[in-house]
Structure 1
């Protein structure tokens, strides 16, 4: 959260003692009139609900989904106490406004009925980079009932085919889901009219009975929750069905830190281990250069005005850890993690290589199992990010070094 010194001075000048909607309006008018101190004050105000949201997500989901608090905070709490021009930033496309607190304030529309703190939390959940990070870790910031409402029959069918429970009839599930989508808007409208808010709605027994009159409401609720879990797994490719859960069900997992014994139970015995590893290496070498180069080229336009971004990539390619990189370039570790997006990049490469490998006869058995396909991607991803021997540099870092040599003048 921002240090309040300059912001407090602005608050004193405008005679404000505590946050309120009227105070927000006064500060917005002052910022629009060129008072950059008032703009800073607003950025400080929105940093508090943003910090609360970050801590709430970390508290609720960190252990299960391996979320890093610093990385989470880095997506939205990237502000420093400095004067910025509200007038200048408001002329930019919304997604180009930085820091994120400034984006929140510049995009604020009080006519929609939300106060600035609620607006900040809403913008938080819509942050694209944050959503990508959370999805990579199996987290979707959307309620089950909203996700079900927003999911098409095609998505539901695909989710149930891949991740559905054996006891769930596809026809029955699709019919119940369709009835839910049809009945949900009217039921929620009644809730909004009664409570004055749109969040917190859940289907009551009356709606559940209407959806499926031939079974108890609790059974309908359980079916909808099963569909929700399948959709989340489809959208995150992990989520509710983690590899740990598969292990608990008795499905043998490979050692994700080594490819030496990868998929011995899933790969056909017609190939030797050396041949299997050669195929794996070849698939990765075909998928990796293009993906890494594309990631660097996407960031390259920012290097001229932010040379520390290029330095971050160089240090990463040389094997430096994120903490050391952060200290070297003068940023927080969350900023480095957000820039590199190592896990996301490694996953995309691993997925492309896995798709290629599953076309080979030796790996066909792996592709016939959802669990096996997940294991393949996880093992490849970890291989890319981890060195095989102490002192070695991981393959993904070497690929970044090669891409940098192509881009350097």
Structure 2
């Protein structure tokens, strides 16, 4: 259950830049009244409360709509404060800033626009958060965290402190070798020997570390870029042909990442106005890691929420494609073959029958007649095509909640290609499964979704 008082206590900055917490009587009375409508007077959860309050915002000119907005902005003020506190706890000591340095950039709401309607056109951070929030897509705390950490002035201040919120391993994982050579030559002014040594180190890292991550992703294992294991560090040293301890290899990698980080910070401070990252160096995946890489529970929850929603959307799109394509194929069949086609699909994908066994079960004489009836390659291709007509748009809309909108616009083509690859891989897995012996277990996503449809 939520800390309900967050919906009636408002955090504002006083003239000394310190937090002043105000209890708003109207909001307190309103929230208590809303909670009392639940059975046994159990308070709403945050998600229930936020959806309820957000729905009341539609009553813009009414007292109810006004109080609902105050309650939500009270909650947002607490979340903004906690984001700043978490940043201080994680990075403040090393980068020499504290929460009070961060508050003025984002904790700027006063509620004055509600008290004196039309008195100001200035939009506070809380107002921007509320205007872009959709309770169907994310929790308000997750959305607040995301927007606060993307706030331009706050990020500019952190980068001036030397803090770039992405791990060494994500930087190395993402840096293109040609880009690294250019950075060392044009930014760090290194000699050819130093550039070659750094290039070899990055190649070793990609060969050992990044390759393992790619294998894990194909196996469905996902996660953040974590510190390389001792075994990986030893393998990197062997790749380099050097007798290094894991600690020495780790130090070299961290030094390489630090030099790449310095370049990123310089670019984003505007000190290299003629320089910019290559198109490949801020992929959507890495930009998302910038939001989630080094944060505590809120961000891991945001990451989990995104992945869960993505998987749900992928499966929904697959199920919609199956529900669209199967009836189309049935319409192409003559009446006697309609039921044969459905039965053949079910026996083949759900029960693992061979083509010969299917022929016997549905009253055909030869195996090739079943193959001709089912045309599995064309059937799967139609489902793939239907998915690719709808999935990219849906995923891009979902990703817009979790990543920088400007970056997302630039990366739409890459997202489409990545989704095409994933859908193709899914279809290929289904085809590979289909070539196995009879009585095989149903494992592929495609087969499981098709069987759910056929069983209903």
Taking structure 1 as the reference length, the TM-score comes to 0.45
Taking structure 2 as the reference length, the TM-score comes to 0.41
Structure number with bigger Rg: 2
Q: Which of 1 and 2 has higher RCO (CA within 8 Å, sep 6+)?
A: 1
